[in-house]
Structures are given as C-alpha cells and as structure tokens.
Amino acid sequence: MDGIARNPAPKDIEVSEEADPCPVCLIHFHGRVVAPVVVKSQCCGHLFDLDCVSKCFVDQPIGSRRCAMCRQNPMPMLNLNTGESHPDTFFPDLTFFRACSEGDLDQVERSLADGVNVNVHDITNNDFTALMMASMGGHTAIVESLIDAGASLKAVCKNGATALFITAQENNTDCLKILLEAGADLNAARIADGATPLFAAAAKGNTDCVKALIEAKANPDAQTRQGGTPLLLAAQNGNTDCVKALIKAGADLNAGTKDGATPLLLAAQNGNTDCVKRLIEAKADLNVRTKDGTTPLLIAVETGNTDCVKLLIEAGADLDAALSDGASPLIIAAEMGNTECVKLLIEAGADPNVQTKGGATPLFMAAQENHPDCVKLLIEAKTDLNARAKDGSTPLAIAAMNGHIDCVKHLINAGADLNARTEGGSSPLFIAAGNGHTDCVKALIEAKADLNARAKDDFTPLIIAAAKGHTDCVKALIEAKADLNARTKDGGITALFIAAQENRIDCVKLLIKAGANLNARFKDGATPLYIAAEMGNSDCLKALIEAKADINAKAKDGVSPLFIAVQKNHTDCVKRLLNAGADPDIGTEDGTTPLFIAAAKGHTACVKALLKAKADPNARNKDGSTPLIIAAARGHTDCVKALIEAKADLNARNKDGVTPLLIAAQENHIDCLKLLINDRTDPNASLSNGCTALFSAAARGHTDCVKLLIHAGANLNARIRDGSTPLYIAAQIGNTGCVKILINAGADLNAQNKDGATPLFIAAQKNHTDCVKLLTDAKADLNIRTKDDATPVFIAALNNNIDCLKILLEAGANLDTTLPDGSTPLFIAAHVGNTDCVELLINAEADLNARRTKDGATPLFIAAQKGNTECMKRLIRAEADINAALWDGTTPLAIAIGMGNTDCEKLLINAGARQGTQERRYVIR
C-alpha cells in the first residue's frame, strides 16, 4: 500500500498493555507469536498493526482513508519502530494552507522556517498547493515568498490547472505578473479540457489578465479539446474588451469548434451586439457555416437578436443562405413571428419566395404559425400568394386548416386563389369546414369560394362538415346555398346520409330543415334512415321519422331499416320504427323476417317488441323454419319463452322435418327443452328417417335431455330407418349415462337393427366396457345373433376387446357358439392373432380342437397357417392337438412349413408334431 512500508528489521517496541487492540483486526499487540510493526495516527493517536493498515487502506486515495475507531483521517502514520513517517503519508498542517489562503504572511514565513514542504498538496481541497491558494486570494507578498522558497510553478491541482491558470481565472493581475516574471508557462493547458490561462481569463472577461498574457506572448489561438479559443469564449460570453484585445493581438477570427461554431456565430447567437460589431469590423467571415449549415445571420434570426441581424445585414451577410432543409433567414423569421427581422430581411432584398425542401415559403410558414403581421409584410413584398408546398397546400390552405382567421383574411384580401387544391383535392373551404373553423368558412364563403368543390374522395365542404359534426360550418354552408344533395360518385353519400351515420344530430336537423333529400340512397340502397337504424343512432332516426322519411325503404339486399336495427340489437331504434308503423313482418327474399333474425341472435327485447307489434310468430323462411325453431336451435331460452307465450306453433316442422323440440334436444339446450315440453308438444315427432328428439339426444350423449324426454313420455324404442333404437345409439357412442337412464326406463335391451345387431353387440364391437357391463347386468341376451350369425362374444374376440370379452364370459355367454362354417370365438381370435383373447378363451375352457366344417381346420391349425406364434404357444401349452389335420391330411406342421412360418414350425417340432402332407402349399381362408 502507498505510504506505509514495513521496517525490514522491526525492533521491540513498548506499547502499554492497557492499550486498545488494533481497530482493524481487534487483536491486542502483546502476546503475539510474531511481534507486530505498530503505526500510530498522528491526527487521532490510535494504534494499528501495519499489516492491517495495509489491507484496510490498499488502493484507497489518502484523502478518503478514515480511522476505524474515530472516522478521522488517520494520516500521517508514524512507524513506532523507526520514529518516522513515510513521505507519501504526510498530511500537511492545515495552518500553513490557511495562512496562504487568508494572506497571513507572518504565519507563512514561520511555517517555511519550520521546514514545511512548500509544494505539498492539500488533499482536502482539490489538491491545491500553497502557491495556488495565495495566487487565488491575490496575496502578492505570499506568492513572492513561496516562489523564493522554491514553490513549483508547474504543479497542477486535481483538474490539471496551474497556479497561473487559477490566477488568470480569478483576475488577480498582480499575482499573474509575478508568476509570469518567475517563468510560469504561458500556454500550459489544463489537463481536464486543454484550456490555457488566456482562455480562462477571456472566458471570465478578465481584460487586464488577457492583456498581460498577450503581452507575455501567450498563444491567442490555443484551442481546447473541443476547439474553443480565447476569442470564441470571449465573444460567446459578451466580453467585448477581451474580444478587442484578442483581435488586436491577431487572434484567428474564424477559428471554430469541432461543430463549426465561430466567434461571430456564438456572439450572434447570444445577442452580444458589441462583440458582433467588433468581429465584423475585423473582417470575420460573415457566412461561415456550422456542420448543420447554420450561419451567423441564421442563428441571430432564430434567437431573435434583431440588433445582431441588422449589423450582419449591413455588413453584407448572405441573406438567403439556408439550412440543410432549405430554411433561409426569412423563412425562420416568418416562422418565429419576428416581424422586425422579417422587415429587415425584406428591405435588404431577401428572396420572399425561397422554399424549403418541403416547398414551404416564408408566407406559408407565417400563415401556418399564425403570424398575421408577418403575413401582411410578406404580401406587401409581392411574395407569391399561391406558392405550393409539396403536398399542394398554399398559404391560404394552411391558414384555413389551422383556423388562423386573420391570416386567412389578409390572404383573401390580397387575392389568394380561393379554390387552389392540395394533392388530395382539398380546397381551402373544404379544409376549413373539415376542421370546424367557422370564421374561416364564413370568410371564404363571403369571398365567393366554390361551395361545392370536391376533394379526391368526392366529398364536398358540406359533406365533410356534416361528417365531422361541425354544426356552425354546416349552417353557414346551407345559408350560402351549398348543394344539400350533392352525392359522392363511388357510393352516393350525401351530407344527410353521413350525418345520420356519424350520429351528428344537430347537423341532421339542419339538413332536414333545409330540405335535404330524406330518401337519397347509398350505392347499396341504404337511406339516411336505414344507416341511422344500423348504427343505433336513435335521435337521428327519430328526426328522420318525424320528417316522414320512408321507414320501410329496403337496401338492395332486401333488408329494411327495422330488420337491420333488429340484427344490430338497437332496441330503441326498433321500438321507434315499430311505433312509427314499420311493417314488423317485412322480410328478405329468403323469407327471413325481423323476428327470425331477433330469435337467431337472441335479442330478446327485440323479439318482445316485434311480438307486441303483432309480428307473425309462425312466419316461415325458405327452408320452412319458424322463429321458434331458430331460437330453440341457438339455445336462446328467453326468446323461446316469449315465442311460446305468443302461441308459436310448438310442432312446426321445417323442410327437413325438424321441430323446435327435436332441435333443442339435438343441441342440448335443456332450458329450451323444458319450455317446449307441454301438453301441446308431440315428444315423438320424428324426421323422415325416424329420428326422434330422444334418439337425437341419446346419439349426442345429452343425458339431461334424455331424462327430460323420457319423463315427457317419449317412445323409448322408437326406431330410425336402419332399425336402431335410442339405447342402441347410446351404446354405440359409449355414453354410459344415457345407456343407464334408458335401461332403467325399461328400454328394450335386445332390440335389433336391420343387421340384427343389439345394443350389447354394438357396445362389445366398439369396446365400450362400461356399457357392456350395464347391459349384461340388466340381463341383455348374451347370445343373440346378427344376420351374419355373430354374437357379442364373436365380435369382442374379433376386435381384441379383451375387457368386453371377459365381462361377457363372466356373464355366461356361450364361448363355443359357432358360425355357420363351424368357426368358434377361439378360432376367430387365433385367426386374427388376438393373443389375449385366445388366452382368455382357453382359460374359460373353450373347445381347443373345435373344427371348421368345410376343411376341418382347428384354432391351432389356423394360427400356424397365419404365423400367429404367440397364439400357438398358448394353444400348445393348453394341450391343443398339435397333429389335428385337415380333412385332406395336412397337419399344422405341414402348413407352417408350407407358409414359411419358421417360428411356428420350430414350436410344433419342439412339441413333437408330425409333418404329414406337405407336397404343396396350402392357403387356408
């Protein structure tokens, strides 16, 4: 660690046994195996082990070190073994520094006589030296005394400044001269930023110091790291006398910063008129540019420093030098609303029609920013009133857009084109109307602007004003006789139509009162009343109804205002239309009436309003459906209830034979079903294929519906066209709940379809184990046969439905029942290789050697022929006859060899089978 060195041969020291332990390690100094090197703080007197101090203070600046006991700065540290302090840990007596700072010459001389280090730095005060403090305070006698004592003129403080720099900055001329005479470096730059003493003096306006430094030949053009010079800082800060002195010394007038700023530009920016004047007189470059293109004149205009602008103009600065975006001094002055600068520039001959890259002129910018006095000046300067920006906007258009009425009036009075169009086709009147600037609209109307000029979207000023709801603008345009019924070409939009669409009720009333066409149609046939109904704009609808608009006018698709209001569920509009006499049954071409759409959407309030207005509850659409069928299909319970109360036909059928009850059951709308089941409803109504509500509910597993229908007396055994019953279909889909309910209700367990399949058969085929269990427990016939003579056991064995097979066998199903060809369930299982079923049937004592009638094949034979090795293993293990041959003498071993089933061949040989007939291959089917 800097400042503390271990004595290579520490001596024994005398430290009182009562002394506190080391504040860092908390170990007493006595009784240690290795005697410690003890150091003592000369400020607070606390003792430390040198090793601890090293570890504690390593890499810490001396000024930030603190005693672990009292938090004071512990420097300097005295090594008690040597009695000396290391030079780097020396902490100077503050008395010496205080004397230098306060001008106490006697104390300074006493400290010097006592041997104080004259060049020591005060670590508590920015690393200042005594010379810096004395120079800062202007104590000339002390400065001289310190220099005589060997004070360093080159020493720097924390930010790298020398005593000369600090003196110049603090304007202590006499001290500065002493330092100069002693040989201080004139151009020593501050480490932090590269600034020299001359720079510091000029920045502060310390003219005498500037002159003294110049006389001593200081470099007037020395630059900081950012490119700043003494002249630049003096001009920026308005230090005119310093500017004069530096100019006289030959300083570079145009030396700029890294971004190109020169003394003249910064003086103009800050409004330092006298500095600007001196620099102009000295022939500074008037048109020098920064990196972004800014000139002194541009910056003076932008900052509103009129006197500087005047000086620069008089000196011949380029009046039209523009920024990179094309903005000239006149454009900027007009944008800022600086009337005096505008006037000066115009009088000096600045181009009034200069444009930015976006096409904006000074007049355009003045109009945009609402500077009417600038607008007036530019008009008087004969500027182009109709010069266009890139988007086609003129000064009048931009003024109208922003509602700048005074600018609008000036431009109108000057003869600006009232109907000039933007790229979007908008005229000033259109723009003013669209933005709701009534005063501008009136001024343009009074000036005879085209009232019906259309934009590219074919909107007129009246249409756009109505669309935006600018009532006063609409009123002004109506009073001026704008075309009330002007229509867009592509869609036929009128002012009244769009006002009704956007719910601009005041505009709607004005247009109606003015005589606008109430029934003008949009391209799809919609009228203003239709669009008001569609959007739910009830007040607009009311106004149109009261004005006698056609309440039944249909759009091209046949939809009426009432229909669309119902579809959108705008109940208030529906009620207004019905109260006004709208036809409640007016429908579309497919027969769909408003009541249909209300029922389909579940708009109960609309349904009730329509029924109250005597809408037909039994109206039919093209496919024969009624509102009740539609409501039941969608599960809209409240609508169903309202229709039932209105005496809707509960048994009405559509073209497919669907009734409300049937569709509600199919879609599992239990609440609708509850409402539909009453003494007027046929619970057994069926489709043309025989499907009833109960069948439909069972087919989809709707348990609650099944219960409800059974309770209502639905036929449990009603059959569809293929003979299937509700229980059959429930078993087929494996819906245990429905199966259970139907069984408990007494459904026919053994009802067969046209193929002879029973519920038990289909459940076993589909592997619905729980359904099989329910049916066997209910005593369903276990051995009933299909038309193919198959029983549930056969189908379970064929499909390898092992759990179903187990239930059937446990229930007592015949395991040796045969097909017409003599095949048993075991034969079938062995044939298809269903090993688990084979094993189960064997364990159930199925006949192992039952033969097929046509050829005498046994289960073992067929397993060998098919190569079903695992089935063979189980049959051999169960002692099936391994030599049981076909009627023609072919043995299982012969067929295994003939078919190339090697594994089966090995099994049979190992079991002792004989070969028998093998002259040809046999394919057993």
Query: Which of 491-500, 523-532, 854-863, 906-915 is predicted with the least confidence, judged by mean pLDDT?
Result: 906-915
Query: Which two tokens mark 779?
Result: 């005593």
Instruction: Name the CA dihedral angle for 373, 375, 379, 383, rounded to a multiple of 10 degrees.
Output: 140
Residues contacting residue 748 through CB under 8 Å, at least 6 positions apart: 716, 717, 725, 727
Q: 392-483 maps to which CATH number? A: 1.25.40.20
Confidence of residue 92 (pLDDT cuts 50, 70, 90): very low
DSSP 62: G
Query: Rounded to whole angstroms, what are the CA distances from 726 to 172, 444, 753?
Result: 115, 81, 11
Query: Rounded to whole angstroms, what are the CA distances from 719 to 621, 697, 738, 748, 749?
Result: 30, 14, 16, 11, 13
CATH architecture of 815-925: Alpha Horseshoe (1.25)
Residues forming a β-bridge with 77: 41
Q: CB of 263 within 8 A of CB of 279?
A: yes
Q: CB of 912 within 8 A of CB of 882?
A: yes
Q: Where in the chain is the domain with CATH 3.30.40?
A: 1-91
Query: Which two tokens mark 22?
Result: 């080391």
Say if residue 55's pLDDT is above 90.
no
Q: CB of 779 within 8 A of CB of 812?
A: no
The whole-number pLDDT of residue 3 equals 34
Tell whether omega for the bond before 362 is within 30 degrees of 0, i.e. cis: no
The whole-number pLDDT of residue 822 equals 92
Q: CB of 848 within 8 A of CB of 822?
A: no
Confidence of residue 507 (pLDDT cuts 50, 70, 90): very high
Q: Which of 732, 680, 728, 726 is nearest to 705 (CA)?
A: 726
The Cα–Cα gap between 691 and 659 comes to 11
Enumerate helices (H) and strands (E) in the chain, giving the number of each.
51, 6
Query: Which of 43-52, 129-138, 605-614, 892-901 is predicted with the least confidence, judged by mean pLDDT?
Result: 43-52
DSSP 352: T
The whole-number pLDDT of residue 76 equals 61
Residues contacting residue 416 through CB under 8 Å, at least 6 positions apart: 385, 386, 394, 395, 396
Query: Could you tell me which CATH class the domain 1-91 is placed in?
Result: alpha beta
The region, left, alpha or beta by phi > 0 then psi within -120 to 50, assigned to residue 422 is beta
Tell me the mean pLDDT in the region 713-728: 95
Domain 319-384 in CATH 1.20.1250.20? no
**More confident: 45 or 504:** 504
Position 465, amino acid: A
Query: Rounded to whole angstroms, what are the CA distances from 71 to 28, 40, 65, 66, 74?
Result: 20, 15, 9, 5, 8
Query: Which two tokens mark 412?
Result: 């109108």
Cβ neighbourhood burial of 576 (10 Å; 0-12, 13-18, 19+): buried
The whole-number pLDDT of residue 160 equals 85
Say if residue 121's pLDDT is above 90.
no
Confidence of residue 71 (pLDDT cuts 50, 70, 90): low
The alpha carbon dihedral of 345, 347, 350, 351 has a sign of positive
Confidence of residue 11 (pLDDT cuts 50, 70, 90): very low
Q: Which of 256, 266, 249 is nearest to 214 (CA)?
A: 249
The whole-number pLDDT of residue 680 equals 81
The label of the residue with tokens 């001593």 reads 216
The whole-number pLDDT of residue 96 equals 86
Confidence of residue 16 (pLDDT cuts 50, 70, 90): low
**More confident: 603 or 58:** 603
Tell me the mean pLDDT in the region 621-648: 96
The whole-number pLDDT of residue 72 equals 60
pTM above 0.85, yes or no: no
Q: CB of 46 within 8 A of CB of 19?
A: no
What digits encode the pLDDT tens for the residues 361-406? 999 999 999 999 999 999 999 999 999 999 999 999 999 999 999 9
What digits encode the pLDDT tens for the residues 773-812? 999 999 999 999 999 999 999 999 999 999 999 999 999 9
The whole-number pLDDT of residue 918 equals 45
Q: What percent of the chain stands above pLDDT 70?
A: 90
Query: Which two tokens mark 866?
Result: 């098919």
Position 761, amino acid: F
Domain 93-185 in CATH 1.25.40.20? yes
Helix (H, G, I), strand (E, B) or coil at 58: coil
The whole-number pLDDT of residue 49 equals 74
The whole-number pLDDT of residue 1 equals 30
Q: CB of 449 within 8 A of CB of 419?
A: yes
What digits encode the pLDDT tens for the residues 272-284? 999 999 999 999 9
The whole-number pLDDT of residue 537 equals 97
Residues contacting residue 121 through CB under 8 Å, at least 6 positions apart: 127, 128, 129, 155, 157
First to last CA, the chain: 102
Query: Which of 222-231, 409-418, 698-707 is predicted with the least confidence, judged by mean pLDDT?
Result: 222-231
The whole-number pLDDT of residue 731 equals 97
Phi/psi of residue 890, each to 5°?
A: -70, 125
The Cα–Cα gap between 230 and 218 comes to 11
Mean pLDDT across the chain: 90
Helix (H, G, I), strand (E, B) or coil at 39: strand
Tell me the mean pLDDT in the region 525-541: 97
Helix (H, G, I), strand (E, B) or coil at 836: helix
Say if residue 85's pLDDT is above 60.
no
Residues forming a β-bridge with 47: 40
Q: Which of 840, 785, 845 is nearest to 818 (CA)?
A: 785
Strands (E), 197-249: none
Phi/psi of residue 709, each to 5°?
A: -70, -40
Residues contacting residue 471 through CB under 8 Å, at least 6 positions apart: 504, 506, 507, 510
CATH architecture of 194-315: Alpha Horseshoe (1.25)
Q: 688-784 maps to which CATH number? A: 1.25.40.20
What digits encode the pLDDT tens for the residues 690-701? 999 999 999 999
Question: Which H or E run contains 98?
Answer: helix 94-102
The Cα–Cα gap between 827 and 855 comes to 13
Tell me the mean pLDDT in the region 192-219: 92
Long-range contacts from 902-905, C-beta under 8 angstroms, 24+ separation? 903/867, 903/869, 904/863, 904/864, 904/867, 904/868, 904/869, 904/872
The Cα–Cα gap between 482 and 570 comes to 33
Tell me the mean pLDDT in the region 699-718: 95
Confidence of residue 97 (pLDDT cuts 50, 70, 90): confident
The Cα–Cα gap between 598 and 567 comes to 6
**More confident: 227 or 542:** 542
Say if residue 614's pLDDT is above 70.
yes
The whole-number pLDDT of residue 84 equals 64
Say if residue 87's pLDDT is above 90.
no
Q: Other C-beta atoms within 10 Å of 788: how many?
A: 12
What digits encode the pLDDT tens for the residues 132-179? 999 999 999 999 999 999 999 998 988 889 999 999 999 999 999 999
The Cα–Cα gap between 747 and 683 comes to 16
Tell me the mean pLDDT in the region 98-113: 91
Cβ neighbourhood burial of 816 (10 Å; 0-12, 13-18, 19+): middle
Q: Where in the chain is the domain with CATH 1.25.40.20?
A: 93-185, 194-315, 319-384, 392-483, 688-784, 815-925
Residues forming a β-bridge with 78: 40, 85
Pairing of strands 77-79, 121-122: unpaired
Say if residue 98's pLDDT is above 80.
yes
Say if residue 291's pLDDT is above 60.
yes
